[in-house]
Amino acid sequence: MLASLLIVAGAYLIGSISFAVVVSRAFGLPDPHEYGSKNPGATNVLRTGNKAAALFTLLGDGLKGFVAVFAARMLADRFGGAEWTVAAAAVAVFVGHLYPLFHRFAGGKGVSTAAGIVFALHWPLALVLTAIWLIMAFGFKISSLAALTTAVLLPIGMFYVMGPGALASTSIVIAALLFWRHRVNIRELIAGRERSIGR
C-alpha cells in the first residue's frame, strides 16, 4: 500500500511541472497565464508566434504523462504495488497537470498529457486518437473542437482495446475532466466565438 501511495504521489508531482511555464521562461516569453486564453498549454504558447516553444511545450506535457504511467507500471511490478496503482497514477499525473502544486494550482487543459498517458497504456490507440486530433485541428483550425472530439472517442477506444477494468475506467475520468476544463471553450463554440489555432 505504501509503495502504491508513493507512486501515485510521484505521478502527481510529475504532472505538476507545467512545461508551458518552464519553456516560456527558457525562451524569454511572457507567462502563458497572462495572455491569450490564459491557459498554460501549447496552443496558447503558439499565440506568441514562437513555434519552437509551442512544440517543446507540447512534447514536455505529453512526455510527463507517458513517463509517469510507464514508471508506475515498472515500479508497481518491482515493489508489489496494488492492482489499482497504475490506474491511479494515470489519473494523478493528469490531475497534476490540471491543478499543479508548483504553479498555484493553475494548470492547463490536459490534452497533451492525456495523449502521453494513452501512449503509455496502449500506443496503437494513441496513434489513432492523435491522427483524429490532427485531422480535426487542421481541418477546422480549432484546438478545443479537436480535443473534445478525441475526449468523446477516448473511453470508447479504451474499453474496446482493453476491455472493462481499472485502466480503461481511467479514460472516463480523464475524458470528463477534459470536458470540465473545456467548459468555457464549449460555450464559445456554441456562441461561434472560439479562437482559432494561431490566432
pLDDT, tens digit (0-9, with 9 covering 90-100), for 4-17 = 899 999 999 999 99
Cell numbers describing residue 16: 505538476
Tallying the residues shown for the chain, one arrives at 199
pLDDT of residue 195: 72
Residue type, 147: A
CA 31 to CA 176: how far, in whole Å? Answer: 27
- Per-residue pLDDT of 146-170, as tens digits, reads 999 999 999 999 999 999 999 999 9
CA 132 to CA 140: how far, in whole Å? Answer: 12
Exposure string over 15-32, b if 16+ CB within 10 A, otherwise e: bbbbbbbbbbeeeebeeb
Burial of 64 (0-12, 13-18, 19+ CB in 10 A): buried
Dihedral-angle region of residue 53 (phi above 0 means left; psi in -120 to 50 means alpha; beta otherwise): alpha
**Half-sphere CA count of 74, side-chain side, radius 13 A:** 8
41, 112 contact by CB (below 8 A): yes
- Per-residue pLDDT of 56-90, as tens digits, reads 999 999 999 999 999 999 998 888 878 899 999 99
CA 69 to CA 76: how far, in whole Å? Answer: 10
- Per-residue pLDDT of 86-121, as tens digits, reads 999 999 999 999 999 988 888 989 999 999 999 999
CA 49 to CA 108: how far, in whole Å? Answer: 19
